[in-house]
Structure 1
Amino acid sequence: MEARLLAHEVSDLCLGKPPLTSLPISATISHALTALQSSEDTHISIWTCDHHHSTAEDFINDCRCVGKICMVDIICYLCKEDNVSCPSSALKSPVSVLLSHVPAVVRHVEPSASLMEAIDLIIQGVQNLIVPIKSAKNFKRKQPRQCPSIAPTAHDGGREFCWVTQEDVIRFLLSSIGLFSPIAAYSVESLGIITTEILTINYHSPASNAVDAISTSLADQTSVAVIDDDGVLIGEISPFTLAYCDEMVAAAITTLSAGELMAYIDCGGPPEDIIRVVEASLKERNLNGMLEEFSIYSSGISYCSSISSSDEESVTSPTTTRSGRYNRSCRYSARIMRRAEAIVCYPRSSLVAVMIQAIAHRVSYVWVIEEDGSVVGIVRFSGILEVFQKHLRSMTN
């Protein structure tokens, strides 16, 4: 049975996956924002393509995915001191400024790569495996709007790609969890996979103090714990939640406390009283550029709240505000998948239980707390994969 599991290839994890939404490295942040707003994907792949003739007869089409970006990258960029006063100018920057400086975030692999190879790469720090797939012409999915002045990128003669994530591998292993008895029933504490080095912010601290931590948690695929003065976990500021928000969350991060930000990004959209707090604070600090952008955004929320909840098409389809600007806020409650409430377990929780929790909530980590709510640490998918890696290798030795 174990040999059969080891025989699986990366292509087995690609079944049914849609082709990547992609942009060329020449795109701007504004182009990326448009693609994210109109796509069902939370991440956009960024590509470089070298089209040239090596000889008179041989045409070379060399395309490589060099990274990925999501709404969190844009939000954190807009929160930078140089950009907070004029977000519209910041959006004209090249998309390359958002790319991670970590060299192994994405990696091209062949469909024939083994499951063990995929696990090894993820443990080494690769977040997304780029895998060529068969043409998906018949795959029904919503196509993102074309970015102005950006031509579609033809990858390697028109080939399409998907990516395999940590979640894909964990979900695949969970489907065969019976093969890992009794390890699956061991506690996360006994397996030694609780990471105690975590990112935290006090509930009453300015949310702007967490910008660097949010960027780090995005790179590490973890989250920022919001705690009280006694170290009790109140909630979290999670990139997995922020990825479903609008770019104007940057205004909330700039002006609110960590606790207020949690309420702002919670399911259903930001409360009106907190919106007023953000607008008043932006005005007080003379951040007129961000205030103008945020006012357009908040008027879109008011418009959406007047739409009947029975009109599904109105809620899930992109709309424009009175100014004619594309508005994403009407899709807020339809797209967001989880609350700012943290997903937790206990040191004695079993490995399989933690896996199920993470998969159910679409995150790659679970917070570990004591009975009194104080934070012990965090369990990450990468740590879980190390357990499976050791077990699978022991079977082949």
Structure 2
Amino acid sequence: MAVSLLANVVLSDLCLGKPALKSLPISATVSDALEALKNSDDNFISVWDCVDRSSKIGFGDGNDGVGDESCRCVGKVCMVDVICHLCKNENSLSPDALKAPVSAILPKIPGLVRHLEPSSSLLEAIDLILQGTQNLVVPIQTKLSCYSKRKQLQKCSTIGPSTTHNGREFCWLTQEDVIRFLLCSIGLFSPIPALSIDTLGIITTDIIAVDYFSSASSALGAISRSLAKQTSVAVVEGEGSLIGEISPLTLARCHETVAAAIMTLSTEDLMAYIDLGGPPEDLVRVVKSRLNEKNLEGMLEEFNTTSGTSSSSSSDEEYSSLSPPRPARYSRTTSYSGRMVRRTETIVCQPKSSLVAVMIKAIAHRVNYVWVIEDDCSLVGLVTFCDILKVFREQLDTRKQKG
């Protein structure tokens, strides 16, 4: 029954109510991407490459077409990409780091973003996600849908080039969207959802971790890798006790000036710096002092300018310019019973936690993974959305063979 029902689900069913995707052209700069991210409710901005060949075909020649314009989403960027870009040695001293093309910070991993039609099946989407796709770009219908005639294209200019491509608007579907949909149909997979993640064998031990007492700058590579995998960096102490995490999701909600903290603080202090509520004032002073010691005054001046604080401002203003804002809409609940006591909030479960419990916990906290720990806080591994989707896909294949 599960196979027959889900086989008829198409992506347009998951796109209902999704907002039009905001985007940047491939010709944009890192500064453009930074501005777009600050003005967006989404953590990511899509980047598009559009080739207009209308001049070769003849624009408005009486046909229904507007020329052969090919528009494709070629990737996505977030604040973490900007932060890692600014932390590179060659950029930390350069006042022109933000003038680099956005292509400089685009992930170089192919297949992270894929186009699919609204009529594509949910099963096709799941298969692509299991192959490494993170975002599916899907056309959506709106009241302002554009026709292909030139006159209609001119009407659509009111929508703005940031949301329309070749007269169409798009949304994107994520791993979280698919997991949410499956959770609504969880009864179809009984008794699998009630089994423990240990029994199902979906605890991943290939984790990205750094030592609690290491320098934050040494974690840059780990942060980049965890962003690409849509997971996080475990911060461990001693024989592998989980102290907390450096989450790309948290960094994506910070101001770009957190790059200065990564360049100057320890991992322990960075966790406090990006913790909910903003950085302590004493850490902000430490960042400023160490930037001066490392002859990175230019980096601090650039950040002050970016955040709207001139270099001649008072010291208090300079300190506040380093503080990443914490918008209320991004804050995770603090009533979660599994919250780690020290520093950052980390979403955890245990090996005997049920599959459905882990799904609910991850969705409730808007993360793509849950850390798995023992009673003594020793780190076992983590469970990701991809691990969970493999269980459902294998279950569908098994039932299809039996049916």
**TM-score scaled to structure 1, two decimals?**
0.86
Q: What is residue 24 of structure 2 aligned with on the other side? A: 23
Q: What is residue 327 of structure 2 aligned with on the other side? A: 333
Partners of 1:239 and 1:157 in 2: CA distance = 33
Q: What is residue 46 of structure 2 aligned with on the other side? A: 45
Q: Which moved more, 1:48-57 or 1:357-366?
A: 48-57
CA contact (8 A) 1:122 1:166 kept: yes
**What SS does structure 1 have at the residue aligned with 2:200?**
coil
Partners of 1:126 and 1:328 in 2: CA distance = 34
Partners of 1:346 and 1:33 in 2: CA distance = 38
**What SS does structure 2 have at the residue aligned with 1:83?**
helix
Partners of 2:141 and 2:301 in 1: CA distance = 45
CA contact (8 A) 2:208 2:233 kept: yes
Give CA-to-partner distance per residue, 1:103-140, whole Å, 9 cap, x none.
Answer: 100000000111100100000000000000012659xx
Which of 340, 343, 349 aligns to 1:345? It is: 349
1:262 maps to a residue whose letter is M
Partners of 1:265 and 1:396 in 2: CA distance = 47
**What SS does structure 2 have at the residue aligned with 1:268?**
coil
Distance 1:201 1:93, change over 3 A: same
Partners of 2:111 and 2:85 in 1: CA distance = 21
**What SS does structure 2 have at the residue aligned with 1:377?**
strand
Which of 372, 379, 397 aligns to 2:376? It is: 372
Which of 75, 79, 85 aligns to 2:93? It is: 85
Partners of 1:385 and 1:154 in 2: CA distance = 30
Q: What is residue 137 of structure 2 aligned with on the other side? A: 130
Q: After TM superposition, give the deviation of residue 322 of structure 1 in Å.
A: 8.9
Q: What is residue 236 of structure 2 aligned with on the other side? A: 227
Is 2:269 aligned against 1:255? no
1:258 maps to a residue whose letter is T
1:84 maps to a residue whose letter is S
Partners of 2:360 and 2:203 in 1: CA distance = 17
Q: After TM superposition, give the deviation of residue 152 of structure 1 in Å.
A: 2.6
Partners of 1:169 and 1:385 in 2: CA distance = 9
Q: After TM superposition, give the deviation of residue 156 of structure 1 in Å.
A: 4.2
Is 2:361 aligned against 1:357? yes
Which of 78, 82, 87 aligns to 1:70? It is: 78
Is 2:49 aligned against 1:55? no
Distance 1:329 1:206, change over 3 A: closer
Give CA-to-partner distance per residue, 1:275-312, whole Å, 9 cap, x none.
Answer: 11111111111101112234567887xxxxxxxxxxxx
Q: What is residue 388 of structure 1 aligned with on the other side? A: 392
1:28 maps to a residue whose letter is T
Q: After TM superposition, give the deviation of residue 7 of structure 1 in Å.
A: 1.1
CA contact (8 A) 1:268 1:333 kept: no
Partners of 2:143 and 2:317 in 1: CA distance = 37
Q: After TM superposition, give the deviation of residue 341 of structure 1 in Å.
A: 1.7
Q: What is residue 291 of structure 2 aligned with on the other side? A: 282
Alignment gaps of 5+ in structure 1? 139-150, 301-320
Q: After TM superposition, give the deviation of residue 39 of structure 1 in Å.
A: 1.2
Q: After TM superposition, give the deviation of residue 215 of structure 1 in Å.
A: 0.5
Partners of 1:208 and 1:292 in 2: CA distance = 20
Partners of 1:226 and 1:60 in 2: CA distance = 51
Partners of 1:213 and 1:275 in 2: CA distance = 24
Matches within 5 A, 1:191-210: 191-210=200-219
Q: After TM superposition, give the deviation of residue 167 of structure 1 in Å.
A: 0.3
Is 2:121 aligned against 1:114? yes
Partners of 1:286 and 1:82 in 2: CA distance = 13
Q: After TM superposition, give the deviation of residue 38 of structure 1 in Å.
A: 1.1
Distance 1:322 1:344, change over 3 A: closer
1:55 maps to a residue whose letter is I
Which of 238, 247, 251 aligns to 1:238? It is: 247
Q: What is residue 272 of structure 1 aligned with on the other side? A: 281
Give CA-to-partner distance per residue, 1:45-87, whole Å, 9 cap, x none.
Answer: 000001113534461111000000000000011111111123x
**What SS does structure 1 have at the residue aligned with 2:260?**
helix
Alignment gaps of 5+ in structure 2? 146-159, 310-315, 335-343
After superposition, the CA RMSD in angstroms is: 2.3
CA contact (8 A) 2:274 2:324 kept: no
Q: After TM superposition, give the deviation of residue 395 of structure 1 in Å.
A: 2.3
Partners of 1:330 and 1:346 in 2: CA distance = 32
Partners of 2:130 and 2:272 in 1: CA distance = 34
**TM-score scaled to structure 2, two decimals?**
0.85
